[in-house]
Amino acid sequence: MAGTDRQREMLAEGPAIILVEPQLGENIGMVARAMANFGLAELRLVNPRDGWPNEKARAAASRADHVIEAAKVYDSLAGAIADLNFVQATTARPRDNFKPVRGPVEAAEDLRMRHRHGQRTGILFGRERWGLTNEEVGMADEIITYPVNPAFASLNLAQAVLLMAYEWMKTAPQGAVEPAGPQLTPATKQHLESLMGYLDRVLSERGYFRTEDKKPKMMDNLRALFTRPGFTVEELAVLRGVLVSLERFSPRRPKGAGGAETEERT
């Protein structure tokens, strides 16, 4: 319970996302969705062109209603960042000023460190058509640029937000967000040896090895084949089932037709 609460709390924290004069409601909605995907919840809008609330934004948010409903609207950028300790500005073009420029990974790590120290942070995103003014960039502490294809550098607004939210999430303390998958434990060598013994027998019976002097090399190849994947016990069982089916049954005497089962020996 405490763990769940802590996780939920963690996922509601993080930098504020500040959209400066966003033009399309759809984009605001997609920004909200991207934020929710990666555990950000605080959206601030500076003079959204089509006003607020915006039905198109809600529709595009795809149920990230908690972000949309909590969004705050400001009539100036200065007002929107007044309570923040540290602000990053995202830009596509290099700027002629003295601010440090960071990539998203480094920027997110910095945000996480500041977060741990109790600082309040935010990230600025400009208008869809032409980004942030130099004056707006000037209000930030640092600049973030993305490692985009120089020949095609214009990121959609929601995509730009997504990447920073994603990098923020990746800096989360481990445990909460690790992708969980099946742990594949290779079967013990004993299991593998059993399969090799079985193959030796059934293939020898069928003349697979042609001549005795070719057999050691061919067995080596078979062993390499079935060792390399690190098959699990379960996988070896499925494999064995296939081999046994081919060994014991035939189109004329399929499984269940009686007779063949009596030959059973594994």
Q: How many CA atoms lie within 13 A of 17 on its CB side?
A: 33
85 binds a second copy (CB under 8 A): no
156 binds a second copy (CB under 8 A): yes
Closest contact distance (angstroms) between CB of 207 and a second copy is 3
Which residue, among 99, 148, 151, has the nearest Cα to 124 in the 3D structure? 99
Separation of alpha carbons 179 and 121, rounded Å: 27
User: For a second copy, which is the closer residue by CB, 86 or 231?
Assistant: 231
User: Total residues at the site for a second copy (CB under 8 A)?
Assistant: 82
8 Å CB contact between 30 and 1: no
Stretch that binds a second copy, among 48-56, 74-82, 115-123, 139-147 (CB under 8 A): 139-147
57 binds a second copy (CB under 8 A): no
Residue 44 has φ and ψ, to the nearest 5°, of: -125, 135
User: For a second copy, which is the closer residue by CB, 76 or 214?
Assistant: 214
DSSP string, 211-246: STTTHHHHHHHHHHHHHTTT--HHHHHHHHHHHHHH
Q: Which helix (H) or strand (E) holds 73?
A: strand 72-74
Residue of 2, 83, 94, 175 interacting with a second copy (CB under 8 A): 94
Site residues (CB under 8 A) for a second copy, limited to 163-222: 163, 166, 169-170, 172, 177-182, 184, 199, 202-203, 205-208, 210, 221-222
Closest contact distance (angstroms) between CB of 109 and a second copy is 14
